[in-house]
Structure 1
Amino acid sequence: MNNPIFPCLWFDNNAKAAAEFYCSVFKNSRIIDDTPLAVTFEINGSKMMGLNGGPQFKPTEAVSLVIDCNTQEEIDYYWDTLTADGGAESMCGWIRDKFGFSWQIVPSVIVDLLKAPERSDRVMAAVMKMKKLDLKTLIEA
């Protein structure tokens, strides 16, 4: 297969506003194409499509977008920016943005911390108590 697979996100006729918002949040992002039906855009080199499908379908947590963060500053930035203007905090590093899409904002070391048998239970217990993940607390668990 020569063509990359990319997500198509269903919007209630505000796909361009969402694409503009996401492109403002992430560096190295741009709108590729815009039509009344759909907008194609890149977030940090990953292609996405926003479809102006109407109110029939709403986003759910069944699909989420993951942001791998190297520092607490990155976690804080994405958490604060994506929950602004109508977004909502959830548990365990999850948020919902103002368009209703779920994001997991996680430290890039989370998999390694959870794989370490001597600490995985402590790390998971710490994650379960947090809304926004605290990198220092997870590393010290």
Structure 2
Amino acid sequence: MSGNGFTTCLWFDGDAEAAADYYLSVFKDGRLGRIGRYTDAGPGEAGSVMVVEFEINGQRFIGLNGGPQFPFTEAISFQIHCADEAEADYYYDALTRDGGHESACGWVKDRFGVSWQVTPPGAIELISDPDPGRASRATAAMMKMKKLDVAEMRRAADAG
């Protein structure tokens, strides 16, 4: 995994390898890269996983086992642009399973604490409609939702 572009580094507290395995099970277009281990130079225990490289949906990541100092927050999230409602349902369910949870407006937090925005087709178009009234009504409807319901957002937008 080399070349141009960006690699997102995710800081974990000892479970970077488990997180990479989890993401590769959720996102079908993915692959595992190199795994680097701590040496006797530290700071982690010699032989334990320091970093794990992985790629999902064309985005490169590195999971770093850095310790508990920097937990994930909602200040950073990854948006998943879904092709259809079935794909949105799949990601929403997969990422909230096994310790993940719903948030608001299509956001979920996975079991490792990473935030994701599951975006079904049409949602962004509705909240950014060139007609400010339609956009406002769609956004107001969205703000009441956990999982995005584009049909309901569309009904609200059209209700003006």
Report the TM-score range of the alignment, normalised by the length of the smaller protein: over 0.9
Q: Distance in 1 between matches of 2:67 and 2:124?
A: 37
User: What do residues 78-100 of structure 1 show as CA deviations (whole Å, max 9, x unaligned)?
Assistant: 11110111111111111110001
Counterpart pick for 1:95 among 84, 87, 108: 108
On the 8 A contact 1:72/1:134 being kept in 2, the answer is no
Q: Distance in 2 between matches of 1:70 and 1:121?
A: 24
| 2:72 alignment partner in structure 1 | 59
RMSD: 1.3
On the 8 A contact 2:85/2:121 being kept in 1, the answer is no
Local SS of the residue matching 2:7: coil
Q: What residue identity is the alignment partner of 2:138? A: V
Q: Distance in 2 between matches of 1:138 and 1:73?
A: 17
Q: Distance in 2 between matches of 1:126 and 1:44?
A: 30
Counterpart pick for 1:114 among 127, 144, 148: 127
Structure 2 unaligned regions, length at least 5: 37-48
- TM-score, normalised to structure 1's length? 0.93
Give how far 1:45 is off.
1.4
- TM-score, normalised to structure 2's length? 0.83
Does structure 1 residue 47 correspond to structure 2 residue 63? no
Give how far 1:112 is off.
1.6
Local SS of the residue matching 1:136: helix
Moved more, 91-100 or 104-113: 104-113
Give how far 1:136 is off.
1.6
Give how far 1:39 is off.
0.5
Answer with 1 or 2: which has the greater Rg: 2
Q: Distance in 2 between matches of 1:12 and 1:89?
A: 22
Give how far 1:70 is off.
2.4
Does structure 1 residue 79 correspond to structure 2 residue 80? no
Give how far 1:139 is off.
2.8
| 2:5 alignment partner in structure 1 | 4
Local SS of the residue matching 1:99: coil
